[in-house]
Amino acid sequence: MTGNPFSLSGKHVLVTGAGTGIGRGIALEAARQGADVVLHYASSAPGAQSAVEEIHAMGRRAAALPGDLTQVTECRRIVDSAAEFLGGLDGVVNNAGITNVVNFLDVTEEHYNFIYDLNIRGQFFLTQQAVRHILQRGDELKRQRDGQPWAGGTIINISSVHGLVGYPGHSVYAGTKGAINAFSRQLAIELCPLHIRVNVIAPGTIEVPNYFTLYPGYNREAGNRLVPWGRVGLPEDVGHLAVYLLSDASEFMTGQVLYFDGGLTAKMALDS
């Protein structure tokens, strides 16, 4: 490991679900720290394209790729296209996912299948394809550096506090997030011999644009009151943690689920 281990200079990163919210915040922060970035999006083309323009203004390379990650063929295409554009992959942030609050007795088979197909199945197969490219990138870097140790590749899976604690209407969503946590710990062990680390960021209350449409009457002050730390989280906050996990500074960290929630999961569910 040479130079500043916290820098992402020279890194090639794919972020899924990056047209809005947390994914967009991560992509922008990765670019600020020196990475070239491909932003995947499903339906948020304007947000993805504007982020690409911001990244170009930073002097970094970026591209936006649409795709339906409920389809395995699309997962593979997005990864292959990102690797081709960037010239390889050093890290992937699996952020794409959907929250849909439904009472347990009202959950349909179609609703269940869609949430699981995107939130965990898509993440699984996209990661599988990405690992192949990360290994190729590692071989290339070792050749370029004349045998110097490779700090390794990085997979970051985005989960949620709902994978740990319960809340009404989240039976399907929480199940996918618990699956992400377990899958990631298992994958971290499988990939240790390949020198690819796998970690999970499990955000709490992070203010994203759909808060203002999904929750009538939501405002910043209301969000602040939900969090023990005293303020709602923002996408750029998650971006700071993701950048650390993408950097060589996190080379010794793998298999961890990091609850990023301003103290939310540490608080007893008792009225004070």
Determine the pLDDT at residue 26.
98
Residues 6+ apart with CB under 8 A from 130: 14, 79, 89, 92, 155
Tokens of 151: 């700090």
Across the chain, how many H-helices and E-strands are there? 9, 7
Determine the pLDDT at residue 213.
81
Closest to 138 (Cα-Cα) out of 184, 199, 193: 193
| Distance separating alpha carbons of residues 92 and 69, to the nearest angstrom | 14
Q: Is 173 a catalytic residue?
A: yes
Determine the pLDDT at residue 159.
98
- Domains for the chain: give ranges and CATH numbers: 12-263 (3.40.50.720)
| Distance separating alpha carbons of residues 264 and 266, to the nearest angstrom | 5
| Distance separating alpha carbons of residues 188 and 258, to the nearest angstrom | 14
| Distance separating alpha carbons of residues 193 and 178, to the nearest angstrom | 25
Q: How many CA atoms, within 13 angstroms, populate the side-chain half-sphere of residue 240? A: 5
**Is this prediction's pTM over 0.75?**
yes
Residues 6+ apart with CB under 8 A from 199: 154, 155, 156, 157, 184, 188, 245, 250, 253, 254, 255, 256, 257, 258
Query: Which of the residues in the chain have pLDDT under 70?
Result: 1-2, 271-272
Q: How many CA atoms, within 13 angstroms, populate the side-chain half-sphere of residue 63? A: 13
Q: Which of 41, 116, 173, 218 is catalytic?
A: 173
pLDDT digit string, tens, across residues 206-253: 999 888 887 788 899 999 999 999 999 999 999 999 999 999 999 999
Tokens of 128: 């599988």
